[in-house]
Chain A
């Protein structure tokens, strides 16, 4: 499905006929060789980034990788030192010179604690010259209706994050840029935020978000870009990233641990890892094995053939996190020890 030209976000949707030649994917963000430095510190070094309309794009990287700087450039807070950056089809040539339809926050949502939640949103609308309608809906969407008239001073971190998201929603963005939107959220709040972002993306809004929570990104994003020391080390669909991942560590819990250990040891291409990490094993009867996906299939077949019930076979580290660790050169404590 694709929105017809000229429709606004949230407008009616139309179905693209099967025999109709699909339109080329429209980019909300197109960055080529973008660089940015702060004095001697290179924050971004030749970054390429494509974010299509309706795409939820995750930005991942260790601290200092340049995520916030890149998000700041997308919000127009600074101008890149080099390279080309197009936002919603418009080339960004000056600081804060962006087309209408870009919203979001970096480094936490900008809220005024002496104002109520409603006053914060109303002030934002007045600043933009918009009518003060839609505030109740925005608050409802992020689950803050009950505290609409409470001062933000008393809000938790999670509530502030949600209010920041409500502020961004009010502007009916075509490109939503969020820095750690799930920071401080409880599981229910995280679910609310996921629901809101998914709905926005379904209506054609491009969402770019950074997060250190891999489970969030894996649940939300269709595409990810991994940054390390200001450079892109991966950018593309999440599935591709996972598929390209080599061997992963898996936790194996069975009905007969002794037999399972023997079978695993006999399976070609599979390595049994030492039992010295209780965090990975989680219980004494679980095994931790390292293998590629086809080898795991073989293992399961062998276990079933040996009459062993497989109760759990799950990655110890999520595929995205494993890829992140591998691509950014970050090591786990276990790997440090083994080295």
Chain B
């Protein structure tokens, strides 16, 4: 043996630094055409979409903030965020994190990579970091594109919150960015689940679709009338928790709890993925990743996390049942009505009036006297009453409420016509949208529920 070899033999060659492995993983990701297309779509698509939709007379009012898209440029980005939380972000995690380990199985490059890097630990870290970086870059594109599209198409105008209060453009900008930041946390959880699927399922294409399938499953679960403690314990809850940012005061409970749950899922799924990866024998050519033992090691701990989280939420919060009741809806509706009434007053150039002066109240009933006044449904009927300063009579307006299990509702005005019965109001400058006709609202599912 040469002296050089003997000298080297005293110490094993060091593993490749993680920075180099990270750059290598990024290079590989960027060389894949689906990732390139996704990057292009994320950086251009939302802007174009928001620009086009904002110019239409028919707006996507079934989506939160969709009805305000031609009023303010900030609504467009929030519409994009809602859509992304349902589908796009889980799909992106599938595309990137769900494939980042499996691709080495498909290409048969594990042994090559291990010999070059010499550390499975660093490979895991580099692949995970590269995936997260790429997902972050894609999410940044979605955020920036949606905001730019909305501001260019409609303009930097105040945004109407989910309780009717007005956010000035600078406030709206901060909240929109914060909402996107909040959505990154459950995205992290889905990415970790994607990494786990990619390792556990090897070259099987199932690994690629795990985050998307999970998003579909959780989306269906969120539509079911499940107890609120189960709903909040799901890793996808933070995908809707950001709505609390657009309520004054901020509805922090569901948001913070949702973020914490997502973080727990992200950490547990990452640890499981790391454990599975480090235990793999890369000389076993027969390994295809799909083994009952592997699936058990990946899936059962996550089920255990769900059970534990449900238990913790049940103990830590006063929530029970569906989390939706008459008292919460009445409070939310009365507040929203007061905020929006001021807006309408301003549009009609009437003397300003404060929410306190209006003293608005709501009385709600679900499905008549034979049905309990709790839970989701489109059979809620509410009467809002208010009093103008100096007036002796009490004004009244009727709303039909369509309440979804996640606590969001759409209030549809039923009259009188001059208050909330028509989609426009007449002003000296012409007809303008009537803010009291239809609006979105949201109730806090985690506060104590009172059964009437």
Contacts and interface: CB of A to CB of B under 8 A. Distances in A.
Q: Do A and B bind each other?
A: yes
Interface stretch (A103-111, A253-261, A328-336): A103-111
A78 B281 contact: yes
B27 A123 contact: yes
B429 interface: no
Nearest to A91: B9
Q: Which of A7, A102, A104, A106 has the most CB of B within 10 A?
A: A106
A105 B111 contact: yes
Interface stretch (B28-36, B42-50, B140-148, B414-422): B28-36
Interface string A41-83: 0000000000001000000000000001100110111100000
Contacts of A100: 8, 13
Given A89-B9, A101-B13, 9 more contacts: A3-B2, A72-B111, A72-B283, A75-B115, A88-B9, A99-B12, A107-B111, A110-B110, A128-B16
25 contacts: A7-B4, A53-B1, A75-B111, A78-B281, A88-B5, A89-B9, A95-B120, A96-B15, A96-B115, A96-B119, A99-B9, A99-B12, A105-B112, A106-B111, A106-B283, A107-B108, A107-B285, A110-B112, A114-B33, A115-B28, A127-B16, A127-B20, A129-B16, A174-B5, A204-B2
Given A96-B120, A129-B17, A115 B108 contact: no
Interface string B114-158: 111111100000000000000000000000000000000000000
Contacts of B282: 72, 77-78
A183 B27 CA distance: 29
Given A38-B281, A53-B1, A77-B283, A110 B113 contact: yes
Can you list the 3 inter-chain pairs with the closest CB atoms, starting with the nearest? A110-B112, A110-B109, A72-B283
Interface string B406-424: 0000000000000000000
Interface of B: 1-6, 8-13, 15-17, 20-21, 23-24, 27-28, 31-33, 107-120, 281-286
B48 to A, nearest CB: 27
Interface in A120-178: 123-124, 126-129, 167, 174
Nearest to B112: A110
Contacts of A123: 24, 27-28
A109 B116 CA distance: 12
A98 interface: yes
A111 B107 contact: yes
B3 A6 contact: yes
Contacts of B114: 76-77, 96
B1 A89 contact: yes
A311 to B, nearest CB: 46
B31 A99 contact: no
Nearest to B1: A26
A170 B121 CA distance: 25
A26 B1 CA distance: 5
Contact of A8 (B4, B12, B113, B118): B4
A213 B34 CA distance: 40
Contacts of B17: 129
A110 B282 CA distance: 13
A90 interface: yes
B16 A6 contact: no
Contacts of A127: 16, 20-21, 24, 116-117
B107 A6 contact: no
B291 to A, nearest CB: 11
A129 B20 contact: yes
A97 interface: yes
Q: Find the residue from B8, B13, B16, B23 having the highest chain A CB count within 10 A.
A: B13
Interface residues of A, number: 55
A214 to B, nearest CB: 23
Given A73-B283, A75-B115, A89 B5 contact: yes
B363 to A, nearest CB: 63
Nearest to A70: B283
Interface of A: 3-8, 26-28, 36, 38, 53, 68-69, 72-73, 75-78, 88-90, 94-115, 119, 123-124, 126-129, 167, 174, 204
A28 B6 CA distance: 11
A105 B27 CA distance: 22
B12 A5 contact: no
Nearest to A113: B107
Contacts of B8: 88, 90, 99-101
B108 A110 contact: yes
A126 B24 CA distance: 8
Contacts of A106: 111, 283
Contacts of A95: 120
Contact of B4 (A6, A112, A167): A6
A81 to B, nearest CB: 11
Contacts of B285: 68, 107
Of B10, B21, B118, B119, chain A has the most CB atoms within 10 Å of the CB of: B118
A9 to B, nearest CB: 9
A105 B285 CA distance: 13
A72 B115 CA distance: 10
Nearest to A151: B31
Contacts of B13: 98-101
Contacts of A97: 12, 118
A128 B116 contact: yes
Given A99-B12, A123-B24, A126-B20, A114 B108 contact: no
A307 B413 CA distance: 119
Contacts of B118: 76, 96-98
Contacts of B12: 90, 94, 97-99
B31 A77 contact: no
A5 B3 contact: yes
Given A88-B5, A109-B112, A69 B283 contact: yes
Contact of A114 (B11, B20, B31): B31
A202 to B, nearest CB: 15
B11 to A, nearest CB: 8
Given A75-B115, A127-B21, A99 B283 contact: no
Query: Most chain-B Cβ atoms within 10 A of its Cβ — which of A8, A95, A115?
Result: A95
Contacts of A75: 111, 115
A206 to B, nearest CB: 10
Most chain A CB neighbours (cut-off 10 Å) among B9, B21, B33, B120: B9
B134 to A, nearest CB: 14
A77 B116 CA distance: 11
B16 A99 contact: no
Contacts of A27: 1
B438 to A, nearest CB: 49
